[in-house]
Structure 1
């Protein structure tokens, strides 16, 4: 479950980073995060590489080697990154719930598709079986008609057999 948290957080961090990187900044060179300590959260988070820790009012460089900042740096509930109103604990819970709903939705769709396919294949099998029975019955009807026609021709020319197993004698 922790892997899912980290993956969803990584995706969100990437999206926030790219959207922040695309917006023009007012200062040409961002100031180091440590110089923004004891200011405001909004001031600290103008630089996307900074992490704001609310209780200590510290602006620190985001620990990029970890997806989540360790609690020794700042507790998850108090850490802010990207937006001042989003803390990591709520972000993790929200992303995991959304990820779980997404996975369940995909599984339900797959199960429904498989079920529909099985029902469709049963219907196709029944249709093929009906067509096969109809074809065989038409063949039997044609075979009996052909046999009757052959018997009529044999009677017409006097070569009808009373016993189908008897040899025909030459007259």
Structure 2
């Protein structure tokens, strides 16, 4: 299903030497280049909770709800790539274009589970993959010495005009 050179895809997947990658059996064409990059490759027939990267696929809209299990088992530092057929792909075995899985179908399942899509990668003329990761929370702790930094503009509006003019002269 991947008709692009797999060795040029590996750097774009965001892997590092020593990471564990779970691959759908249908995408095992990527296994050899991933191993050459120093990754340990395992099968993704079922969710692999300790994988740094999981690459799966969904051909039809009916396949998408089953992918929620992969999202539930995704660690905070892991990413999930989901390959779907291109709209204009004409290959025997693919569902008709109106029944094919699309980004909106994936978002309907993953966004409520706390994932967001943040990258797109072409696997060739037949497949395109979307990367989903956990949404990051605020990096700043609530309260504390910089809690009021978000309120700077509000504080400026509350000052009297003569105070604002005096601060500009300084």
Give the TM-score taking structure 1 as reference length: 0.24
Bigger share in strand: 2
Give the TM-score taking structure 2 as reference length: 0.25
Bigger share in helix: 1
Larger radius of gyration: 1
